[in-house]
C-alpha cells in the first residue's frame, strides 16, 4: 500500500479547501440566504409594496454570483474524489442545486426585463427554489453526516 492509498482509505475528501477546511460549506450559506430572502421580498412585493422590487433583484443577483462560486467549489469536490462521484446523494445534491440556480437565473432575467414579473411568475419561481433548497440541503447533509464527505478522519487529527 503506498502513501496515496492510505490517504484514500478514510472519508471522501474535499478537494477545494483552504488550510484543510472545505470551501464549499463556507460559501453555500450566501446563496441560500439570498434565495430565501428573495422569496420573502417577493411575497412583500406581491402584497403591494413595490419598493422592494429593486432590493429583491439585487439580492437575487448577489445570490447567483455566490451560487456560481459555491458551484465551482462543489464541482471541484465532486470531480476531485472518485468516491464522491460514486455517491448517488452527491449527484442528487448537484442536480438539485443546478436546477435551483437555473430557475433563479430565469427569475433574474425576467425581473430585469419587467419588474412586475416579481408579483406574477417571480414569486412562484422563488417558492419552488426554496423547496428545492430544502431537498438539496437534505442531500448535502447526507453527504457529510452519512457518507463523511469532507470530514477529517480521526486518525488525521
Digitized pLDDT (tens) for each residue of the chain, 157 residues in all: 344 433 456 888 888 989 888 999 999 999 999 999 999 999 999 999 989 999 999 999 999 999 999 999 999 999 998 999 999 999 999 999 999 999 999 999 999 999 999 999 999 999 999 999 999 999 999 999 999 888 877 665 5
Residue 128, C-alpha cell as written in the block: 419552488
The CA distance from 6 to 153, in Å, is 12
- pLDDT at site 6: 38
Helix (H, G, I), strand (E, B) or coil at 4: helix
CA distance 135 to 115: 29
- pTM of this prediction? 0.88
- Residue 155 confidence (pLDDT): 63
State the CB neighbour count (10 A cutoff) for residue 68.
13
Instruction: Give the pLDDT confidence score for residue 153 in this predicted structure.
Output: 74
Residues 6+ apart with CB under 8 A from 98: 71
List of residues 6+ apart from 48 with CB closer than 8 A: none
Q: Which class for 3: exposed (0-12), middle (13-18), buried (19 or more C-beta within 10 A)?
A: exposed
Amino acid at each position: 500500500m503506498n502513501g496515496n492509498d492510505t490517504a484514500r482509505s478514510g472519508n471522501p475528501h474535499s478537494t477545494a479547501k483552504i488550510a484543510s477546511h472545505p470551501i464549499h460549506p463556507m460559501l453555500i450559506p450566501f446563496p441560500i440566504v439570498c434565495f430565501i430572502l428573495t422569496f420573502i421580498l417577493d411575497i412583500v412585493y406581491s402584497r403591494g409594496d413595490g419598493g422592494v422590487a429593486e432590493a429583491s433583484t439585487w439580492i437575487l443577483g448577489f445570490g447567483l454570483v455566490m451560487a456560481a462560486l459555491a458551484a465551482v467549489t462543489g464541482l471541484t469536490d465532486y470531480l476531485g474524489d472518485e468516491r464522491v462521484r460514486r455517491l448517488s446523494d452527491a449527484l442528487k445534491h448537484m442536480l438539485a442545486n443546478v436546477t435551483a440556480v437555473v430557475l433563479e437565473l430565469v427569475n433574474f432575467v425576467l425581473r430585469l426585463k419587467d419588474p412586475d414579473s416579481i408579483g406574477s411568475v417571480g414569486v412562484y419561481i422563488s417558492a419552488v427554489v426554496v423547496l428545492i433548497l430544502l431537498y438539496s440541503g437534505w442531500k448535502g447533509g447526507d453527504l457529510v453526516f452519512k457518507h463523511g464527505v469532507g470530514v477529517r478522519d480521526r486518525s488525521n487529527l
